[in-house]
Structure 1
């Protein structure tokens, strides 16, 4: 499940940047924006489901609260991704939300690497 989770959030990040760049402030969306946004939502759903499974597998452990914080950071990141693209579609300023997505993505990935079930720790078990 961990591999599915890592693959889905990596693809979600790539698709988010692709969708964000396929919407011009002057010309509007390119013809690739809507399919990219739909595929992004699919991978966000996969990320949330796999993250929830990992979260419930670790319940009752010593670091359950830290996994809960990481789950919340992941939800905030996903919400900011959707809000950024929605503001971009409505032709409102979205640059601040874009930087918040980058910040919360780095925080979430850093927290995931720090935790015992993180990708680096899982390699050495």
Structure 2
């Protein structure tokens, strides 16, 4: 399940950047914006479901609180992605939300790498 989770958030981040760039402030959305946004929502849902499964697998462990913080950071990241695209769609300033998405995505990824089920920890154990 961890591999599915990693694949889904990588694709979600790529789709977020693609959807963000396919909406022009002057001309509006490109023909690719709506399909990209719908595909992004699908991968956001897949990321949430696989993340919840990973979270509930680690509930009895000694690092449950850290996994809870990571789950919360992931929820914030996904929420900010959706709010950024909604602001961009309404032609409002979305630059601050864009940078917040990057910040929270890096925090979430960093915490996921640091935790015991993370890829680096698993590689060196």
Return the TM-score normalized by structure 2.
Answer: 0.98
Instruction: Report 1:4-83 matches (<5 A).
Output: 4-83=4-83
1:50-94 deviation per Cα after TM superposition (whole angstroms, max 9, x unaligned): 000000000011000000000000000000000000000000000
How far apart, CA to CA, are the structure 1 residues paired with 2:39 and 2:121? 30
1:96-119 deviation per Cα after TM superposition (whole angstroms, max 9, x unaligned): 000000000000000000000001
How far apart, CA to CA, are the structure 2 residues paired with 1:48 and 1:124? 27
Q: Secondary structure at the match of 2:59?
A: coil
Give 5+ residue unaligned stretches, structure 2: none
How far apart, CA to CA, are the structure 2 residues paired with 1:74 and 1:12? 12
Deviation of 1:122 (Å): 2.1
Q: Secondary structure at the match of 1:31?
A: coil
> What stretches of structure 1 move > 4 A for 4+ residues in a row?
none
Greater Cα offset, 65-74 or 113-122: 113-122
Q: Secondary structure at the match of 1:60?
A: coil
1:36-57 deviation per Cα after TM superposition (whole angstroms, max 9, x unaligned): 0000000000100000000000
Return the TM-score normalized by structure 1.
Answer: 0.98
Residue-pair matches, total: 125
Deviation of 1:121 (Å): 1.5
